Amino acid sequence: MSQHQPTGDGPPAAPSGGAPARGGSHPGPGPAGRGDTAGALPRPTLESVAERAGVSRATASRVVNGGAGVRASLREKVQRAVDELGYVPNLAARTLVTRRNQAVAVVVSEPESRLFSDPFFAKHLRGISRELSAADNQMVLLLIEDQADFERVGRYLGGGHVDGALLFSLHHSDPLPDIARRVGLPFVIGGRPGWPGAESDRELTYVDSDNRGGGRIAVQHLQSLGRTRIATITGPLDQTSSVDRLDGYRDLLPDGDPDLIAEGDFTPDGGGRAMAELLARRPDLDAVFAASDAMASGALRVLREAGRRVPEDVAVVGFDDVEQIAAWTDPPLTTVRQDIEDMGRLMARLLLRRLTGQTDTTGRRGPTSVITPTRLVVRGSA
């Protein structure tokens, strides 16, 4: 698999000298003295804090958790003990009783090809991370690489490690939502779910951008430029985002020639292949709407190789507005912008709202889903 495995593969040679052990993993009841670098000092417990402050464990606990209903003088005492001891709550213990983890899983199931060719992913993550950490929740990232991982992740989600999950890039047959539902884990989906009945499922919460509207905006722009033979490169059609963008295209071109439609896979290479295909089928095309910037960049390259000038001969519009790609192609890409980071934030917010019990006794809950707008960003390619 790996191309080179430099050092550290086999059982490594021991380092020369007998370096002083940093204390193994055994907490060992050694003297509490915090020796210099001596490792694995037994962490102070709430008990020890209480003792030092001369109060009961209960009071110490109250202070640690906000200190409501504790006399100021005591509160201060406990606080001091906490500081001096460097006390940090043991969260496993806390979770055991509160049943809250303050952690949320983010599950991304996307083949390598796209995950790494598209900054999309990172942007989403950033939005989520921001929102989550603002609420003091941790983000646990679960990457799904192959079929086998579904099992592992399913186990994890059911393991009670996290309070909720954010699910991404679902394909039609994705088992994740089912798994999450089965284990009773609240979740929010990124992108409109596409399986039968999903649409009408009031229990489902998702965040999506207005892909269809975005598709329309792209074609509209191309038409306003006077283009009449407008092709499109779609994403993989087992994802709703691809289908929706294509539907937007069709909204404005209801009687379009099917030869003007080619399926890509959201990667530059796939975009290039699709472009070549389109060029072969309809050499007279004068515009292309690619359903992602990555695919557009591939298309641009193929067009250049074919001697077509952009935008003079063929106008190109992308989708995403991923700066890394769109601003650096030649010419820079005119594209449909979706605010990816914002979508991430929204997803997190929706989930958190649910976790913090927006469910009142009447059984009502906040709105389930939200669609974020898209808009055109004009650069040089169309």
Partner DNA sequence: ATGAAAGCGCTAACAT
Partner DNA sequence: ATGTTAGCGCTTTCAT
Nearer to DNA, 25 or 147 (CB): 25
Which position among 15, 97, 197, 254 is part of the footprint of DNA (CB under 7 A)? 97
Cα 33 to Cα 40, 53, 79, 90, 145, distances in angstroms: 12, 18, 21, 20, 46
Chain positions 208 to 227 lying near DNA, rule: CB under 7 A, are none
Nearer to a second copy, 180 or 262 (CB): 180
Structure tokens belonging to residue 218: 């792209």
Q: Which secondary-structure segment (H or E) carries 187?
A: strand 187-190
Q: Which secondary-structure segment (H or E) carries 207?
A: strand 206-209
Which position among 31, 35, 39, 43 is part of the footprint of DNA (CB under 7 A)? 43
Nearer to DNA, 51 or 342 (CB): 51
Provide the minimum distance between the beta carbon of 71 and a second copy in the complex, in angstroms, as a whole number.
Answer: 26
Chain positions 315 to 334 lying near a second copy, rule: CB under 8 A, are 323-324, 327-328, 330
Cβ partners under 8 Å of residue 88, min gap 6 = 43
331 binding partner (options DNA, a second copy, none; Cβ < 5 to 8 Å by kind): none
Are the CB atoms for 324 and 257 separated by under 8 Å? no
Which position among 58, 96, 280, 378 is part of the footprint of a second copy (CB under 8 A)? 96
* Selection from 150, 153, 162 nearest residue 105 by Cα: 162
Asked if 58 is part of the footprint of DNA (rule: CB under 7 A), the reply reads: yes
Asked if 94 is part of the footprint of DNA (rule: CB under 7 A), the reply reads: yes
Chain positions 212 to 251 lying near a second copy, rule: CB under 8 A, are none
62 binding partner (options a second copy, DNA, none; Cβ < 5 to 8 Å by kind): DNA
223 binding partner (options DNA, a second copy, none; Cβ < 5 to 8 Å by kind): none
DSSP string, 290-351: ESSHHHHHHHHHHHHHTT--TTTT-EEEEEE--HHHHTTSSSPPEEEEE-HHHHHHHHHHHH
Beta pairing partners, 336: 319, 376
Cβ partners under 8 Å of residue 74, min gap 6 = 53, 55, 59, 63
Asked if 370 is part of the footprint of a second copy (rule: CB under 8 A), the reply reads: yes
Are the CB atoms for 169 and 153 separated by under 8 Å? no
| Phi/psi of residue 233, nearest 5 degrees | -110, 115
142 binding partner (options a second copy, DNA, none; Cβ < 5 to 8 Å by kind): a second copy
**# of chain residues touching DNA (CB under 7 A):** 28
Asked if 133 is part of the footprint of a second copy (rule: CB under 8 A), the reply reads: yes
Asked if 307 is part of the footprint of a second copy (rule: CB under 8 A), the reply reads: no
Asked if 197 is part of the footprint of a second copy (rule: CB under 8 A), the reply reads: no
Could you tell me which stretch among 47-55, 148-156, 172-180, 228-236 binds a second copy (CB under 8 A)?
148-156
Classified as helix, coil or strand, 381 is coil
Asked if 161 is part of the footprint of DNA (rule: CB under 7 A), the reply reads: no
Which position among 23, 38, 51, 74 is part of the footprint of DNA (CB under 7 A)? 74
Are the CB atoms for 137 and 95 separated by under 8 Å? no
| Residues of this chain that bind DNA (CB under 7 A) | 42-43, 45-47, 54-59, 61-62, 64-65, 69-71, 73-74, 87, 89-90, 93-94, 96-98
